[in-house]
Structure 1
């Protein structure tokens, strides 16, 4: 039996809970309209006895396709071998549960691995569907015998919704730079010329065309849209891509930017990097790096006028990186401003010994940052800024 119904924004959650309370079983096809100018976004959920047991872009064509998907998502390279070994022994060749039982029994996967992958997919389906209006189509004739663990349970609805809420909060935190998963990234005029990572450059060339949204790109790549958005936020802060009204950047503006002194900020905090870029971009061309290794590439290929350096970094300690930069003859007079949450005299002394020009304690006031950078860049031969 196939039934369909329209729903308004915010109503989908209640409809799903009603189906759970009725202990419904079957397939739920969801077509949401996130943007009136775009075609509806199609997703599917599967219920068994009122519990969600699957979610994704579509229902797998077979139990073997499903196991291969788990193998790819869990980075298990031997899924195909396990399928060939177990599939020929199945009593019911089309059974999902029987194939998974055998796969788990030979210890290729654990039940927890399988459930984790499907849980993540269901969370993404709901995250992408719950806020928007759309159409729900129910097909109670199509279901498959999927369940998890020795007791054959479905997914934990409360944990699913906790993760949906958590991800919505993360999207809200990204919103000042990445408006939403439906936002369309565009290359800035100089974007590809300053990208230091060849893989990122290749990705931007292949996927960013001013038409595809983040969710479109994520679907094509089979990636988590939120993970992709975190990368795009870093690239946007670096000036490689832009979203919405900030996207169109004229060549005239780009040329003006090239004439400004270059400031390189090295910090693994996107919040700090965003503040620095917004504070200094009117006066300087601001390049960003999150790791010392990337920063070394940038300073060797650009005429850097000043280096802003975080003390605590994931790969190389900021003090050690400062010493490395100072050991290179052409950077002996380069102004280096250390930014850190540590404000003890001993910390400042270590920074000075490492070769720092100046030492600022986080959180830094924008006006103070502008003042210090102006002073340092204004005198090319400066050794200590005051």
Structure 2
């Protein structure tokens, strides 16, 4: 059995394997490039993936039940992340590490080696396998393109645990749907949380909770790693931090985006000049807006990738947003609507840029929460006058800088 995910989805493939009580392994591969027609979720995955060109997953079955899942060519770091929670020191010698590296499923062999040496108990191994299966299926059930092949054959041995497919995919599908509702504040398991406003957090949280946040939000640990370290479900963790992200007290940094070279300190700090962000997939428009606004004393940042721009909004914290309407992947209406669902952007002026001077476009812009619109092509004076209407430069320079929230 093999094919493409645009013909049959992962859920259906798993159900067919369960129905046929098959034994063997499923390989799923996805190759991403900037030219691909990606869904929103896959575009985010492409940005955050450490191996953005190609990703693979393996699912192992015994009589129609799942016994293990592995993400790509694992380097054992996933297991080590969970062992950290149990404060387990592996102490494997070089010969054993080399032996594991040559196995077809090194993670699974690693766990069994730890079991055989009594470094971990069957209960801990059971828990780690369950977590690894869940997180791998979470990624797979979020996938909408790629190829797959199922090969019947001998089962992965020995077996410690097996999972019924029906209840498992029902549970994880629900989690995937709930995860999507956290967008755009939380976009990817590979985002890194950073504390921005410790003062506000200290007034809302206990000292013990704040200290834990300060310890884990170190600018290096991703959400997925944090979930492993705490032995918690990724969705539960994301829901717990979501209110702080919405308030702007906690920030999620796109680890794959380096073009702006934002540091944890500079990304969230107050800025001396009004910060204007322009989102437009046309490079000439972006360059023109940057040039015009910088000449008039504004800090102007132009972004041509709408998906990337949406993630960066929570780092840049602009005082005004210029957003084109007609863009691929995400149009201006969708971006405006998503930002307005965050308390951090409820009062930030959003001006829509459009090549159409039509009544319907204006109505739609207002319906999604746009503040105003500017018809292209526009001249220097039109742009500056509209920006000055909503961002008073002199007033900005003469008052304490605080990002607008409600």
What's the TM-score once normalised by structure 1's chain length?
0.44
Higher Cα radius of gyration = 1
The structure whose RCO (Cα within 8 Å, separation 6+) is larger is 2
